[in-house]
Amino acid sequence: MNAERPTYRILISGGGTGGHIYPAIAIANAWMERHPGSEILFVGALGKMEMQKVPEAGYPIKGLPVAGLQRSLTLDNLSFPFKLLKSLRIASGIVKEFKPDAVVGVGGYASGPVLYAAQNKGIPTLLQEQNSYAGLTNKLLAKKAKSICVAYPGMEAFFPASKIKVTGNPVRKDILDLSGKREKALSHFGLSEDRKTILVLGGSLGARTLNQAVLKDMVKLEQSGYQVLWQSGKYYFKAMQEELNSSGLKHIQLREFIREMDLAYAAADVIVSRAGALSVSELSLVGKPVIFIPSPNVAEDHQTKNAIAYVRNNAAVLLEDKAAVGHLREKVDQLMTNPELIQSLGINMKKLAKPGAAEAIVEELEKLVA
């Protein structure tokens, strides 16, 4: 490390979903713990959740008008090249003004223009790829990146092997130790001590299939003696609330968004989740039985690939999206009635965990500014 410089300037770019934002914040926090005099600036996409979540975490952020291409032919696609060119121009100005010592890209719309601008100016860049199937932006940026931190082995198929460091995905620190939190968790969410708890997570925006699956089976789940802590996401909350209110059920706890994830995990006996990169990384640390229902509506079907990486290690159960509605209780029963399977899934999940991911990425970043 260069001892003559009292501070460092680190630019972090990307976002769009919690799967990109929370790892980015975790990297920033880990860097500041080791280099408290540093300046960190985030760059995100205007209108996306990072524009709210990053300032809430205590960091400044600037926005770009960049947006992704839609899969179907829409008017928004016609504006894509104009937004991209404008974002490239703004990103170049941000890099020139902030003068970062290094730039970190975590994926998402904004990371492309920012890292492209940094690389053209000779500033060292680090990529953080959360998924088992690399995103297009990171694949394009990999050639000029100095270091590429990944969560899964076998990423040589996408990136130069000499640049790859298997670090895992950074996660929130409060989930690293759940011991002693169950009683508090049950009380916090209004859950019963006498019922097994199913935690359903569809992400911050929500997942239609997961919500429909709970809706379809919620009466049977309650009749079977279970209780459900259900994060529906903001897009579906009102509709799900209306359905639940008219059902008369008492053991289905619906939430639009769960902020106290450590307590949610502590309360859970079985977890039902999408298979986004952040979700699977967090759940491996939690070490509880998981039913993954991967979203089919993502690039290169990477959620299925994420889930299969765990299923192959006997660390999780897979339920296909197309089969989820009408078969959720069946999968839950298979787990709840098999204590040995529950225990083995939890143990195997923990084996795949990488609790020091953020610190490992910071170590790679330190090499770039040395």
Q: Say how many domains are in the chain.
A: 2
Residues 97 and 230 in one domain: no
Asked if the structure places residue 1 within a domain, the reply is no
| Cβ count near 287 (within 10 Å) | 19
Residue 312 annotated as part of some ligand binding site: no
> HSE-up of 370 (CA within 13 Å, CB side)?
9
Q: What is the chain's pLDDT, residue by residue, as a tens digit (370 residues)?
A: 444 445 899 999 988 777 788 899 999 999 999 999 999 999 999 998 899 999 999 999 999 998 765 545 556 656 667 888 999 999 999 999 999 999 999 988 899 999 999 999 999 999 999 888 888 889 999 999 999 999 988 899 999 999 999 999 998 888 888 999 999 999 999 999 999 999 999 876 679 999 999 999 999 999 999 999 999 998 999 999 999 999 999 999 999 999 899 999 999 999 999 998 889 999 999 999 999 999 998 877 889 988 998 999 999 999 999 999 999 999 999 999 999 999 999 999 999 999 999 999 999 999 999 8
Amino acid identity, position 39 = E
Measure the CA–CA gap between 66 and 91, rounded to whole angstroms.
Answer: 10
305-322 tens-digit pLDDT: 889 989 999 999 999 999
The pLDDT value recorded for residue 1 is 47
259 and 317 inside one domain: yes
Sheet containing strand 226-231, edge to edge, reads 252-255, 226-231, 196-201, 270-273, 290-292, 317-318
Residue 42 located in a structural domain: yes
For residues 201 and 211, is the Cβ–Cβ distance under 8 A? no
DSSP 56-112: HTT--EEEE---PPPSS--HHHHHHHHHHHHHHHHHHHHHHHH--SEEEE-SSTTHH
Identify whether the C-beta of residue 144 lies closer than 8 Å to the C-beta of residue 43. no
Do 160 and 180 belong together in one domain?
no
pLDDT at 134: 87
pLDDT of amino acid 183: 96
pTM flag (> 0.75): yes
In a domain? residue 111: yes
Letter for the amino acid at 32?
M
User: Is 17 marked within a binding site?
Assistant: yes
The CA distance from 121 to 235, in Å, is 41
Residue 217 sits in the same domain as residue 135: no
Give the other-Cβ count within 10 Å of 22's Cβ: 24
Asked if the structure places residue 232 within a domain, the reply is yes
**233 neighbors 202 (Cβ within 8 angstroms):** yes
Q: Is 303 annotated as a binding residue?
A: yes
CB burial readout 240-259, b (16+ within 10 A) else e? beebbeeeebebbbbbbebe
Q: Is 13 known as a binding-site position?
A: no
Whether 3 is in a domain gets the answer no
* Structure-token pair, residue 362: 């910071």
Residue 37: other Cβ atoms inside 10 A? 9
Domain of residue 90, CATH code = 3.40.50.2000
Q: Is 282 annotated as a binding residue?
A: yes
Instruction: Tell me the C-alpha distance between 212 and 239, whole Å.
Output: 11
Q: 232-269 pLDDT, tens per residue?
A: 998 999 999 999 999 999 999 999 999 899 999 999 99
Same domain, 17 and 127: yes
Q: Is 279 annotated as a binding residue?
A: yes
Q: Is residue 178 part of a domain?
A: yes
What pLDDT does 135 receive?
82
Are residues 157 and 75 part of one domain? yes
Please tell me whether residues 24 and 135 are part of one structural domain.
yes
Q: Is 92 annotated as a binding residue?
A: no
Question: Which residue range is the domain that position 309 belongs to?
Answer: 174-351
* Residue 277 marked in a binding site: yes
Asked whether residue 74 falls in the same domain as residue 158, the answer is: yes
Q: Is 278 annotated as a binding residue?
A: yes
Closest CA to 40 of 94, 97, 100: 100
Examine residue 2 and state whether it is found in any structural domain, yes or no: no
* 98 lies in the same domain as 113: yes
Please tell me whether 18 is known to bind a ligand. yes
Residues 110 and 251 in one domain: no
φ, ψ for residue 102 (rounded to 5)? Answer: -160, 155
- My answer on whether 219 and 338 are in the same domain is yes
Same domain, 163 and 202: no
Q: Are strands 290-292 and 270-273 parallel, antiparallel or unpaired?
A: parallel
Q: Is residue 224 part of a domain?
A: yes
> Is the CB of residue 285 less than 8 Å from the CB of residue 266?
no
Is 319 annotated as ligand-binding?
no
pLDDT score recorded for residue 2: 46
